[in-house]
Amino acid sequence: MKKKKYTFIDLFAGIGGFHTAMHSVGGKCVFASEWDKYARASYEANYVGVEPSLFKKDKNGRYLFFNEDINDIMPSTVPNFDICCGGFPCQPFSTAGLKRGFEDTRGTLFFNIANLVKEKIDAGYPPRVLFLENVRGLKNHDNGKTLQVILATLEELGYRCSYEVLNAKYFGVPQNRERLFIIAWYKKLVDVDFFSFPYGIAENGDTIYNKNDLKKGTVKTKVSDVFEPSSITTLYTISDKMWEGHKARKERNKMNGKGFGYSLFNGESVYTSTISARYWKDGSEILIDQSDKNLNPRTLTPVEAGRLQGYRIIGNGWEYPECENNQNYNESNIEFNIVVSKKEAYRQFGNSVAIPVIKRLAEEIIKQLM
C-alpha cells in the first residue's frame, strides 16, 4: 500500500535525523533551517536526492527553502506544512514579569518556532502537529520554569501537549541516550485527549506503550552491531600516552569524588554511554576494549559513531556482516554518506537525534494524530 504523504518542516535540522525518520513514514520536507555550514553540507549532500525541490535557489543563487538563519525566516515564505519538527536549543526565559506564555519566549530560539506557528495559524493554515526534541535536562531546567513556559506557549496557541523522556537503548540502538520529546497537536483539527508514547520496541518488533513492559525485554542490541571491520578499527587505537592519561585522570577524579573519566565497552556490551559533540577531542566517553588483541583501547570510527545514532552508513562494511540487515541498517533506510572531516563527523553525530526513536515516534504521530 502506498504511504500517504505528509508535509513537514525541519528546524534546527542538523544533519537530518528528523528528515530520515519522517521520510520513512511518508513525510515530504518542504522547508529546513540549519546555520552550521558543515551540517548544511552534510544535509544537502544526503537529502538532495531524496527531496531535490528543498534545495531550489532563486536567480541570485539563494536557497528558497533551505534557510541558514532561523532568525531571518519570513513565515509567509515558508510553505504550509502538517508537522513542525525541531530539536531546539535549551535556553532560559527572562523571569521578569513572567506570564508563562508566548510573550515570555521573545529573544529565544524557541520563539522562532512559536512565532512561525502563530503566523501560520493567523494565516489560516495551522500546523496539525509539533514534534519537538530536547535534552533531558529541559524537564528541570531553571527549576522547571523553562518547560512550563514552553508548554503554556503551545497551549496559548491552541495546542494540547504531552511530553516524555525516552531512551534510545530501548529502540534498537546500543546507546544509553535519554532525550525529552514534546508532542503537541492543534485541538481544532485533532480531537484527541492524549498521545500514547512509545517507550521502546519489543523483541518481536511491536511498540511498547507501557513503561513497565520494558522489563519484559526489548529488541536485542550489542555494541558490535555498529563495528566496522577490525582491519579499519585497529587504526583508531589510542596511544600509550593517551591511555595512561585517561587512567590517571580517572583515578584523580575518583579520589576527588567525581564520576568523570573514560568509559570502556566491548563488542558484547549491550549499549554504550551517550555520545556527545565533544567526542572528537579524545573519545574518552566511549572507548572500545581491545585487550583480546593485546592492544590499547580504541575510539569509535566516525562511521560507527553515526551507526550508534541509527544512521545507515555503509562505510567499509561490518565486522559482522549480518548486522547490515538489522532494522536500522537494511535497505529500507536512507543511506547516509559522510562528506566532512573526521572531527566534524564526530561533532555532527554527537549532536544528532537517535533516528530509531524519532522514527517510532513519527509512526505513532501518523497513527494517532493524522
> Mean pLDDT by 10-residue block, N- to C-terminus, for the chain (370 residues)?
79 97 95 97 98 97 95 93 90 48 62 93 97 91 85 95 98 96 97 96 96 96 97 96 93 80 94 93 91 96 97 95 89 93 96 96 96
pLDDT in tens, 44-67: 999 999 999 999 999 999 999 999
pLDDT at 89: 75
pLDDT at 198: 98
Give the sign of the dihedral formed by CA 286, CA 291, CA 297, CA 301.
negative
pLDDT at 3: 59
3-state per-residue secondary structure call for the chain: CCCCCEEEEEECCCCCHHHHHHHHCCEEEEEEECCCHHHHHHHHHHHCCCCHHHHCECCCCCECCEECCHHHCCHHHCCCCCEEEECCCCCCCCCCCCCCCHHHHCCCHHHHHHHHHHHHHHCCCCCCEEEEEEEHHHHCHHHHHHHHHHHHHHHHCCEEEEEEEEEHHHCCCCECCEEEEEEEEECCCCCCCCCCCCCEECCCCCEECCHHHHHHCCCCCCHHHHCCCHHHHHHHECCHHHHHHHHHHHHHHHHCCCCCCCCEECCCCCCECCCCCCHHHHCCCCEECCHHHCCCCEECCHHHHHHCCCCECCCCCCCCHHHHHCCCCCCCCCECCCCCCHHHHHHHHHHCCCHHHHHHHHHHHHHHHC
pLDDT at 19: 97
Catalytic residue among 29, 84, 85, 90: 90
pLDDT at 90: 66
pLDDT at 332: 85
Please count the residues of the chain.
Answer: 370
pLDDT at 91: 58
| Residue 323 appears among annotated catalytic residues | no
pLDDT at 145: 83
pLDDT at 281: 87
pLDDT at 103: 55
Give the sign of the dihedral formed by CA 148, CA 153, CA 158, CA 163.
negative
Cα–Cα distances in angstroms (integers) from residue 281 to residues 25, 275, 277, 347, in the given order: 36, 12, 9, 10
Domains of the chain: 6-219+354-369 (3.40.50.150), 223-351 (3.90.120.10)
Cα–Cα distances in angstroms (integers) from residue 105 to residues 95, 115, 178, 180, 283, in the given order: 10, 9, 25, 19, 36
pLDDT at 259: 67
pLDDT at 97: 42
Looking at residue 15, its amino acid is I
359: cell is 522514527
